[in-house]
Structure 1
């Protein structure tokens, strides 16, 4: 028997591989997911023995249907229910917002109906350009904290800027401020020395879905891509800038990193707080007591409407993708999009093409140089069809642009963590601030036009004549696009 197994080991393993692959294919077909994604998984399972099973195990699980964690323990808290109830706008406020937004009021209703995400009325926002400006404001606010500091980051490294952040929050913890830190276990790199310092200072910290343990490795691909800071429940931060020297352009002479973040004061901070607490409830299992001190009354009287949109494997709907889809479809004059990774689904591609062909000024800004070879060529595979539909496509040439912003018609804009790709729409935990305000929208529009000065516009004829080898790379990379 042993000799038989030894002599036919490869045949047995190949047979077992395709038996498991067949079972996986049946499961995929019954899920009724996007046909392109279905075909991609089937091709990978059939054409790449063993590797295909690993890819499906790590990337193919549908956690939107099988929730990663249950948020009801937080949402059912009486304090949280009271906070959410206070944001329900009366008919007069809704009428004023409807008059201002016109068709874009559909965004407000969409997110409220899908995720019970209320629009908040009293806010102040500050657009922060690049890491230097973001960290100057953030560190100043952190040093003023009196009650609590909540931080949630995809990337946190204890390099120069990360060590400075760690020093500040450790000092605040030692002074009696409650500090809670959640970081993604795949994206972050924190040394044992820094972790000891955090622990000794009284900072509570937990990795998001650690991958060192076998029970979690199957979820390695489902990462927390959010960047949230909440200070005393009064000041919040959200956007594209992580905690790493890459984001602050410390190293002279190396590629410039262009990014955008947002500082918020007012009622929308309570929604950022809520999303932090739901994550904290999952990563810590500490049964933290939710009190009104996490949701203080705002002193902001300025009227500026902000809605916080969150999505991830734990949500019933792809909220951010749907919001972007509606924003494009309701545009009358223009849609200006900046994203570092553009690997969209069919819905977004169609929306962009239809808007452009209908006379809307649709412009897309992406990096020329990417930090991912496969993502770069997958992005390039979509460009020709956009150019044919009269979408104006620009590539940023002054380094790497990592900002994730959209501006529509001088009245709506969004800054957040979500890219325009499959991963952000369906896999990662993401969060965006949607702002319904002319001044903020015009500010982001101005910055978009400034970024175009450091960019090259693509021409359809020239693009069609690009080298054939590039087209082959694009075709190969696009095959993997649902998995990137």
Structure 2
């Protein structure tokens, strides 16, 4: 009897694996991702099936169609038609400032792959430390009059967040609408905690309720964005989540280095629309009319910005494409900061080609680790890139969490997307592409300041890695598409 049950179990198991393999092949994922899952099925078949169901399945077409899409141009045309009407004029103004034809390609690319509109009447303030950013954010929150919208991958329950929550409670009591989205995997917030906030007038929800029974199979798609919109005229985006470690490094790091942007102007309307889409997809409430955008003052020397988003329901890998385009069109130098470095083949080729063409390509990674497997996998990409002339550095002062890319002192990207496959294809991300020499040079100056507390990683360093560790790193790379 036991042997008969064993046989039935094995037949059921291998039939399930065969079905999953067929399903995997029909999804036409990239070869590296497909092979990684096949290895998981081979080595740990039962666990592999569960993992694939939880983390590997793509969004079904029907499921994608039920979501409000981040097609920003279409959604903005009703309330903010003036932003769309000025696209041709603003593009011409940008070309007069920067005569390089590459900017035109970048603008058209983002308009095509993520419906991103170009806005000019903006001012931008950059923060390179959490203490400075949160001090200013607290002032802005205390001055809010109509609404506060916040969207974070991580929402800690610590000293900083308690201070922020007290401000939000006070504002809610004054009649300010407070709405918060957070990621359920980035942090677990007990129901009791959420009930307390809601009782105080703070509407807080886990983004898209990924842990609900009917959506658990797509919980691998994380909401990695960090956004704040206040009264429609102030917006924040960048690498900093809501937690004390972003100020002082927390328990595990002596220092935390990050980059965040505060934007005032037309681009805040785009940030507001991004939040409104996430809110609607989560609780089916349309907040656009209830959250008006004020009249935007014209700025003679405003900063040109395009906000771009990407996610598993996006038609195109827009942020990966903009990274590729920025790297490919550089003429002098490319400076990249990312804590994680697991690029796909297209980004690797773009970096190699740029370096071999004589472009100064430098990549700064974190020297303090929060995750070992991505670090091991990243090492396997370095040898060929180093051979091509790309220079790599590890930040040693603390944990480097910034996500920036600056090209030729005139264009830079600041946002939430790391230089890795997860950010390109699995996470909901948001970046600001900023066409401004002043901002670009500020990012560059900080890059070189960071290099003063970094160590360069050379081919000699790579060759000194022992064979056993190289094997470990290569095994980690096999699972890079899943990290």
Structure 1 residue aligned with 2:17? 21
Rounded to whole Å, the distance in 2 between the matches of 1:241 and 1:406 is 16
Answer with 24-33 or 383-392: which moved more.
Answer: 24-33
| Uncovered stretches (5+) of structure 2, i.e. residues with no partner | none
Rounded to whole Å, the distance in 2 between the matches of 1:337 and 1:88 is 34
Structure 2 residue aligned with 1:190? 189
Aligned match of 2:68 in 68, 71, 77?
A: 71
Q: Deviations over 1:259-285 (max 9, x none)?
A: 110000000100000000000001122
Rounded to whole Å, the distance in 1 between the matches of 2:260 and 2:429 is 14
Shift of 1:73: 11
What is the root-mean-square deviation of aligned Cα atoms in Å? 2.1
Contact 1:14/1:49 (8 A) holds in 2: no
Q: Deviations over 1:120-179 (max 9, x none)?
A: 011000111121111011111000000110001110011111111111111100111011
SS of aligned partner of 2:304: strand
Rounded to whole Å, the distance in 2 between the matches of 1:55 and 1:252 is 31
The structure-2 alpha-carbon separation of the partners of 1:73 and 1:44, relative to structure 1 and needing over 3 Å to count, comes to: closer
Structure 2 residue aligned with 1:412? 411
Contact 2:211/2:219 (8 A) holds in 1: no
Rounded to whole Å, the distance in 1 between the matches of 2:350 and 2:74 is 39
Aligned match of 2:296 in 270, 276, 298?
A: 298
Q: Deviations over 1:332-375 (max 9, x none)?
A: 00110000111111110110010000011000001122211111
The yes-or-no answer on 1:46 pairing with 2:49 is: no
Structure 2 residue aligned with 1:89? 86
The structure-2 alpha-carbon separation of the partners of 1:199 and 1:252, relative to structure 1 and needing over 3 Å to count, comes to: closer
Shift of 1:244: 1.1
Rounded to whole Å, the distance in 1 between the matches of 2:260 and 2:65 is 28
Contact 2:234/2:263 (8 A) holds in 1: yes
Contact 2:59/2:313 (8 A) holds in 1: yes
Contact 2:327/2:350 (8 A) holds in 1: yes
Shift of 1:82: 3.6
Structure 2 residue aligned with 1:394? 393
SS of aligned partner of 2:58: coil
The structure-2 alpha-carbon separation of the partners of 1:90 and 1:29, relative to structure 1 and needing over 3 Å to count, comes to: closer
Contact 2:208/2:278 (8 A) holds in 1: no
Shift of 1:390: 0.5
TM-score if structure 2 supplies the norm length? 0.94
| Uncovered stretches (5+) of structure 1, i.e. residues with no partner | none
Rounded to whole Å, the distance in 2 between the matches of 1:174 and 1:9 is 63
Structure 2 residue aligned with 1:436? 435
The structure-2 alpha-carbon separation of the partners of 1:78 and 1:151, relative to structure 1 and needing over 3 Å to count, comes to: closer
The yes-or-no answer on 1:257 pairing with 2:256 is: yes
Rounded to whole Å, the distance in 2 between the matches of 1:253 and 1:380 is 23
Shift of 1:44: 1.6
Contact 2:73/2:84 (8 A) holds in 1: no
Q: Deviations over 1:225-261 (max 9, x none)?
A: 1011000000000000001122111658943111110
Shift of 1:11: 3.7
Structure 2 residue aligned with 1:478? 477
SS of aligned partner of 1:282: helix
Aligned ranges for residues 133-148 of structure 1 at < 5 Å? 133-148=132-147
Structure 1 residue aligned with 2:318? 319
TM-score if structure 1 supplies the norm length? 0.94
Rounded to whole Å, the distance in 1 between the matches of 2:211 and 2:228 is 26
Question: How many residues are treated as equivalent by the alignment?
Answer: 479
Answer with 252-261 or 471-480: which moved more.
Answer: 252-261
The structure-2 alpha-carbon separation of the partners of 1:10 and 1:258, relative to structure 1 and needing over 3 Å to count, comes to: farther
Structure 2 residue aligned with 1:98? 95
Contact 1:273/1:294 (8 A) holds in 2: no
The structure-2 alpha-carbon separation of the partners of 1:251 and 1:44, relative to structure 1 and needing over 3 Å to count, comes to: closer
